Amino acid sequence: MNAVVAAVGIMLILSLCRVHVVVALIAGAMAGGLIGGLGIEGSLAAFNKGLGGGATVALSYALLGAFAVAIGKSGLAHALADKALALVGKQGAQGGGAVKWMMIGLLLAVAVSSQNILPIHIAFIPLLVPPLLFVLSKMKIDRRLIACVLAFGLITPYMFLPVGFGNIFLNEILLANVAKSGVDVTGIKVTQAMLIPAIGMLVGLLIAFYSYRKPREYDLVRVEQLEKTTVTYSPLTLLVAAVAVAAAFVIQLWLDSMILGALAGFVIFSVSGVVRWREADDLFTDGMKMMAMIGFIMIAAAGFAEVMRETGEVKLLVDASTQWIGDSKAVGALLMLLVGLLVTIGIGSSFSTVPIIAAIFVPLGVELGFSPLAIVSLVGTAGALGDGGSPASDSTLGPTAGLNADGQHNHIWDTVVPTFLHYNLPLLAFGWLAAMTL
């Protein structure tokens, strides 16, 4: 059996059986390494080599968690909840009406903006989502819908709009690697290539609105404990919170460092007195605990990805697929998309997948007679497939970090499975359609 297929399969099965994702990633990596001929020592060496690749992201999210706890201490979260609850009181608490759609629209708009207008990616989630959990629960909104909304906003903009993270993915990674692999991309409009797949993402979002339309009960007592309703706030503490958030965003954009941005925000809270010096250590620790899971998963995913690269069996997987393709463009497009889905689910990053598959897919696409525009669409879609629905992707880890702040949202069954079903299946269909028509 191919090592990549085995590793990803074992990781997914263990995750679905509620084995912790970190354990599932380690077990999958070791199994893949053994099957790929690396042996125990070689697998461990490759895994350890890859761990460093996730350390920066893990530390960034840990510091972001501390910053989020400090924001909660300032009362800003409580002020937001009070305002939203007042609106809910006017509209009713059954999840219908204008307030529900206002909340969902706000989260969608912020998620989309986090990829381009204010390119902070998932950094907004632990700041914005936990304060709104009480309101969402009061209105009985299914959090699986919110996970799908956030995932749509995190994925679709970078795979379609060539600004912010989209500029990096579409121009610096996708077009650059397609050109490097031998196809002339001069004059190709990347938005045209990715339009049909992006429509597939939109269709998935609309289906999610239908799938999760029914009210879902959550334990309000647990949410109230999270919100710490005894927190008091004043115009001064809210002003300090606003300054800290603004400073964190500006520093992150200026220095391109979430670590320094989150740290600067926490320091502002400490210096201003909103967070007392004797409380700072405990608050910092609590915040890091809140984001510890996502950090360790990202570190383990980096090790998993390195083992998969060391086996060299991604190319063997594609070579094996070509035996099924023959001269059929339809079968070729489908198999290339499925391989992209498998690789991205394992690695957890579409940005890392494209360079791996482009060198193999581009010559194969040329041989099968696909146009340059169709090849760009195929490689781009194959890379984006699996971002939603991967246990190790920040597009699923981010939503879980916010929605599970009170322990009532399971990462696998409430984020990974819903986003996999609602985005990867439509993306497969629309990606195949794009390859066949462009």
What's the mean pLDDT when you consider all of the chain? Answer: 82
Tens digits of residue pLDDT in 147-173:
999 999 999 998 998 877 788 888 888
Tens digits of residue pLDDT in 10-60:
888 887 887 877 888 889 889 988 988 888 888 888 888 888 766 776 777
- Secondary structure (3-state) at 189: coil
User: In this predicted structure, what is the pLDDT of residue 376?
Assistant: 92
Cβ(377)–Cβ(436) below 8 Å: no
User: In this predicted structure, what is the pLDDT of residue 160?
Assistant: 92
- Does residue 378 lie in a domain region? yes
- Does residue 164 lie in a domain region? yes
Q: Which candidate, 123, 124, 133, places its Cα nearest to that of 81?
A: 133
Is the pLDDT at 95 greater than 50? The verdict is: no
User: In this predicted structure, what is the pLDDT of residue 38?
Assistant: 87
- Does residue 356 lie in a domain region? yes
In one-letter notation, the amino acid at residue 156 is T
- Does residue 273 lie in a domain region? no
Give the residue-averaged pLDDT of 293-320: 76
- Does residue 25 lie in a domain region? yes
Distance, in Å, from the CA atom of 33 to the CA atom of 27, rounded to the nearest integer, reads 10
- Does residue 429 lie in a domain region? yes
Distance, in Å, from the CA atom of 298 to the CA atom of 54, rounded to the nearest integer, reads 5
Structural domain that includes position 48: 3-212+293-437
The H or E element containing residue 296 is helix 292-311
- Does residue 138 lie in a domain region? yes
- Does residue 20 lie in a domain region? yes
User: What sign results for the dihedral spanned by CA atoms 107, 112, 115, 116?
Assistant: negative
Tens digits of residue pLDDT in 277-296:
777 777 777 777 666 766 77
The total domain count for the chain is 1
**Of the listed ranges 132-136, 191-195, 272-276, the one predicted with least confidence:** 272-276
Cβ(380)–Cβ(197) below 8 Å: yes
User: In this predicted structure, what is the pLDDT of residue 91?
Assistant: 57
Q: Which candidate, 377, 379, 397, places its Cα nearest to that of 387?
A: 397
Is the pLDDT at 430 greater than 90? The verdict is: yes
- For 80, the token pair is 């937001």
Residue 102 — pLDDT band, cuts 50, 70, 90?
confident
Distance, in Å, from the CA atom of 126 to the CA atom of 130, rounded to the nearest integer, reads 6
Residue 433 — pLDDT band, cuts 50, 70, 90?
very high
Q: Quick one: what percent of the chain has pLDDT higher than 70? A: 87
User: In this predicted structure, what is the pLDDT of residue 118?
Assistant: 64
Question: What pTM was estimated for this model as a whole?
Answer: 0.78
